[in-house]
């Protein structure tokens, strides 16, 4: 019970720090339009969430215009979980295809991208759900700050960089089938990594922890 309460408390701190940092960078102080990926909310944590905690904190302050939520293929955690949570909480959310993310950044006024993390290495590289890396590349190209929201327990100082993180590869049927219905040639070769690594230099907004927001290069010293 103590661990559950600590996680909820840490997530609320992450939300508060992230919301304040984002609002401090937005002309006029908000309201802001965000984009997020996968599920990082109540259904993935003990409560409130990490990246979705930032979304919730902004919404509670009346400073969120809208959040764009990627579907997050092939497991669809964004469409099945994040969109559900946000709608339930009355948060203005728009679901988009993964392939529409860059277009949404350019055409729908996205002002910051906020994602979670499965692991953060000593140099600030981040492993997260597949698709995170390409979001960071697109955000960097368009000058949109890219944030990672993660508790300090996610940080692993024993790993020098993201190249040392083993990446799980999932069955090809997750792409060739949906609900048992064949979507592709059954014998086609499939590469289906569950995660990717975002290099620290693409995390332009910062890494949001329960202790504050840090540049990737500052994180190890701060922890």
Rounded Cα gap, residues 223 and 218, in angstroms: 9
Predicted pLDDT of residue 155: 94
Containing structural domain, residue 66 = 1-221
Q: Where are the alpha helices (DSSP H) in the chain?
A: 2-25, 51-60, 77, 83-88, 101-107, 132-142, 173-176, 216-222
Domain total in the chain: 1
**Would you say residue 46 has pLDDT above 80?**
no
**Would you say residue 31 has pLDDT above 90?**
yes
Distances in whole angstroms, Cα of residue 178 to Cα of each of 2, 4, 77, 80, 139 = 39, 34, 14, 14, 30
User: What are the tokens at 215?
Assistant: 């540049």
Q: Model-level pTM?
A: 0.95
Q: What is the mean pLDDT of residues 176-194?
A: 94
Predicted pLDDT of residue 41: 86
Rounded Cα gap, residues 163 and 179, in angstroms: 34
Q: Is 1 helix (H, G, I), strand (E, B) or coil?
A: coil
Distances in whole angstroms, Cα of residue 201 to Cα of each of 28, 83, 167 = 27, 29, 20
Q: Is the peptide bond before 155 cis (omega within 30 degrees of 0)?
A: no
Q: How many alpha carbons fall within 13 Å on the CB side of residue 88?
A: 10
pLDDT confidence tier of residue 1, bands split at 50, 70 and 90 = low
Spatial neighbors of 151 by CB under 8 A, at least 6 apart, are 7, 10, 11, 14, 50, 209, 210
pLDDT confidence tier of residue 221, bands split at 50, 70 and 90 = confident
User: What are the tokens at 166?
Assistant: 């083993």
Note the maximum CA span of the chain. Answer: 54
Please give the full DSSP string across 34-85, using - where no structure is assigned.
EEE-S--STTTSSSS-SHHHHHHHHHHTT-EEEEEEE--TTTTHIIIIIHHH
Q: What is the CATH number of the domain that holds 186?
A: 3.40.50.10470
Predicted pLDDT of residue 28: 84
The residue with greater pLDDT, 173 or 221, is 173
The residues that are catalytic are 118
Distances in whole angstroms, Cα of residue 45 to Cα of each of 5, 12, 48, 147 = 11, 12, 7, 18
**Would you say residue 216 has pLDDT above 80?**
yes
């Amino acid at each position: 019970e103590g661990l559950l309460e600590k996680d909820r408390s840490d997530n609320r701190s992450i939300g508060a720090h992230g919301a304040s940092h984002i609002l401090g960078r937005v002309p006029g102080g908000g309201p802001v339009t965000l984009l997020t990926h996968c599920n990082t909310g109540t259904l993935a944590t003990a409560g409130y969430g990490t990246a979705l905690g930032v979304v919730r904190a902004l919404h509670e302050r009346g400073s969120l215009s809208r959040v764009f939520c990627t579907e997050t293929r092939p497991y669809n955690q964004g469409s099945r979980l994040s969109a559900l949570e946000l709608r339930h909480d009355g948060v203005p959310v728009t679901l988009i295809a993964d392939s529409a993310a860059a277009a949404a950044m350019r055409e729908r006024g996205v002002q910051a991208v906020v994602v979670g993390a499965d692991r953060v290495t000593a140099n600030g590289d981040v492993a997260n759900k597949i698709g995170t890396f390409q979001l960071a590349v697109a955000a960097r190209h368009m000058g949109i700050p890219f944030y990672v929201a993660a508790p300090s327990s996610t940080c692993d100082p024993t790993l020098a960089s993201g190249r040392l993180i083993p990446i799980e590869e999932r069955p090809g049927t997750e792409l060739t089938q949906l609900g048992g219905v064949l979507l592709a040639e059954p014998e086609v070769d499939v590469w289906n990594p569950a995660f990717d690594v975002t290099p620290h230099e693409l995390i332009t907004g910062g890494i949001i922890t329960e202790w504050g927001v840090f540049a990737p290069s500052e994180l190890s010293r701060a922890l």
